[in-house]
Amino acid sequence: MRAETIAGIALGLLAAALVVAGLATVGGPGQGRIERRDETRLSDLQRLATYVRCVADTQQQSLPDALRPVETCQAEMRFDDPYSGSAYRYEKLTDTAFRLCARFEETDWLNYVRRGEINPATGCMQFTYTPG
């Protein structure tokens, strides 16, 4: 074999190895889809927190007992995970604290992007309500 051929093969193998290493590091397209789905879930929880506060403001400044559509606070709310169809979980903890939860797919990623804001083991975020 000629030196140029060996060098070409070596360069091709090196390029392939770098692509494989890159995909292993960042996770590839499948990982990207998982992260986008989890970003949607996080966004939904944030919007639901705003919704819960709106409902509390319209209901004598008291947190609701459950998530239900309220006409004055409707902004095309999504109460269910658009990918799994399961309902997002709402828990009234006290008169001024509540928790919203979702089933996330990538808990390591969650811990990285939302450290301290979300419990990766439960998929729950805790929020407070200050009556206005």
pTM of the model: 0.74
Write the pLDDT tens digit of every residue in 61-73: 889 999 888 888 8
> Of 10-14, 90-94, 97-101, where does mean pLDDT reach its minimum?
10-14
* Domains of the chain by residue range: 32-128
Could you read off the pLDDT of 33-55 as tens digits, one per residue?
998 999 999 999 999 999 999 99
User: How many other CB atoms are there within 10 angstroms of residue 48's CB atom?
Assistant: 21
Confidence of residue 23 (pLDDT cuts 50, 70, 90): very low
Higher-confidence residue of 28 and 37: namely 37
| Backbone angles phi and psi of 20, in degrees to 5 | -60, -45
- Per DSSP, helices labelled H in the chain are 3-26, 28-58, 107-113
Structure confidence at residue 69 (pLDDT): 84
Asked whether the predicted pLDDT for residue 92 surpasses 80, the reply is yes
pLDDT averaged over every residue in the chain: 81
